[in-house]
Structures are given as structure tokens and as C-alpha cells.
């Protein structure tokens, strides 16, 4: 990709110089020359951006819908998963190495909320500034005993890891038949 970038810069330089020489020979007024030069530069910047932007970055974004009953997450491939607030079992904030998915990108840490319901249906919702804050607010409002302080600490930490921010309390054990009765 670096070779393409250098070629792109070299062709921009050659086209600019050729255009300047042609404008001088044809005695084009300066205002027209600068306007045309601006248009050429904008086109080269756009083409350069398209070349430098990996396909994964240009893909459509995910959609997260929060409601009174639960949340619906639609991933970048268009698959939708819905979870109900009253069926959530665990909420974990996680940060892990994303790995090098494209030769021009360095390794980085990706952040996400991992949500698991009582039926072991799970989703991982990637974090961005807007949706991450909205989801955090929804957790605070709808999940009793959600550990907001731990969630904030995890969000501001820059290390990889997993932080259990909420877990559904275990149901009281049914002890009938487990112990002998005192009256027998």
C-alpha cells in the first residue's frame, strides 16, 4: 500500500506541474488556474482516501436499538439479535486485541459489551462514544445493582481485560427433598 501511496503522490505532482505549464502556455487567468488546481487536488485526496481506507472500515455500521422491553442489535452483516432486559443473565465490559485484520492497520484493542441471557444467547456490542454511553445509561436504569463504578473504571482503563459489571442474582435454592424433615 505504501508503494501505491508514493505512486499516487508522484502522479499528483506530475499532473500539477503539467497543468501549471499548460496554464502558463495558454495564458489562463490565475483565478481559473487556482480553481482548477483546487478541483484536481480534491479529486486526488478523494482517490487517495478510497485507496487508503480498508474495506472493513468502509463497511456499514451496526445498529443498536434500546427499548423498554430490551435491546436489538443488528451487526454489520444485517443479522439481528434481540435480548430482553428481564432475561439478561450477565453483562461484561471487555477489551481485547483485535489483531491485524488489514496490512495497513496496526494491532489495536477493541472494546465491547458482552451480553448473555438466561438461555445462553449472547451478543457482543462494539463500543463507540454515542452508543456506548446510551447502553451504559440503559444498564444503570434497567438492571438493579449494576456496578456503574466498575463499568466507568473499565471504560477508562486502557488495558485488555474483562470486567463483570452485572450478573443476575441466583434464584433461591429449592431445598425440598434434600434434607430430612425435623418432624419425621
Query: How far apart are the C-alpha atoms of 134 and 66, rounded to whole Å?
Result: 8
Element (H, E) at 172: none
86-128, pLDDT tens digit by residue?
999 999 999 988 766 666 666 778 888 999 999 889 988 888 7
12-43, pLDDT tens digit by residue?
677 777 777 777 777 878 777 778 777 777 77
Compute the chain's Rg from CA coordinates.
28
CB 76, CB 62: distance < 8 Å: yes
Q: Any idea where the domains of the chain sit in the sequence?
A: 2-52, 61-167
> Burial level of 3, CB count in 10 A (0-12/13-18/19+)?
exposed
Long-range contacts of 166-173 (CB under 8 A, 24+ apart): 166/88, 166/90, 166/91, 166/139, 167/89, 167/90, 167/91, 168/88, 168/89, 168/90, 168/118, 169/145
pTM over 0.75: no
CB 85, CB 144: distance < 8 Å: no
**pLDDT band, residue 149 (cuts 50/70/90):** very high
pLDDT at position 1 is 45
pLDDT at position 54 is 44
Higher-scoring residue by pLDDT: 63, 101: 63
Question: Is residue 179's pLDDT more than 60?
Answer: no
Let me know if domain 61-167 sits in CATH 2.30.29: yes
Amino acid at each position: 500500500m505504501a508503494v501505491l501511496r508514493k505512486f499516487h503522490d508522484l502522479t499528483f505532482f506530475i499532473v500539477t506541474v503539467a497543468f501549471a505549464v499548460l496554464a502558463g502556455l495558454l495564458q489562463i487567468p490565475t483565478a481559473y488556474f487556482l480553481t482548477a488546481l483546487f478541483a484536481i487536488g480534491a479529486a486526488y485526496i478523494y482517490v487517495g482516501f478510497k485507496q487508503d481506507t480498508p474495506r472493513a472500515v468502509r463497511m456499514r455500521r451496526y445498529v443498536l436499538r434500546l427499548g423498554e422491553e430490551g435491546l436489538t442489535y443488528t451487526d454489520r452483516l444485517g443479522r439481528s439479535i434481540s435480548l430482553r432486559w428481564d432475561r439478561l443473565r450477565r453483562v461484561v465490559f471487555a477489551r481485547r486485541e483485535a489483531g491485524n485484520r488489514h496490512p495497513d492497520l496496526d494491532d489495536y484493542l477493541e472494546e465491547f459489551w458482552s451480553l448473555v441471557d438466561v438461555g445462553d444467547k449472547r451478543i457482543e456490542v462494539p463500543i463507540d462514544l454515542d452508543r456506548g454511553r446510551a447502553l451504559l445509561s440503559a444498564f444503570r436504569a434497567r438492571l438493579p445493582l449494576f456496578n456503574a463504578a466498575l463499568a466507568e473504571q473499565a471504560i477508562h482503563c486502557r488495558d485488555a481485560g474483562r470486567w463483570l459489571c452485572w450478573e443476575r442474582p441466583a434464584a433461591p435454592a429449592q431445598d425440598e427433598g434434600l434434607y430430612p424433615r425435623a418432624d419425621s
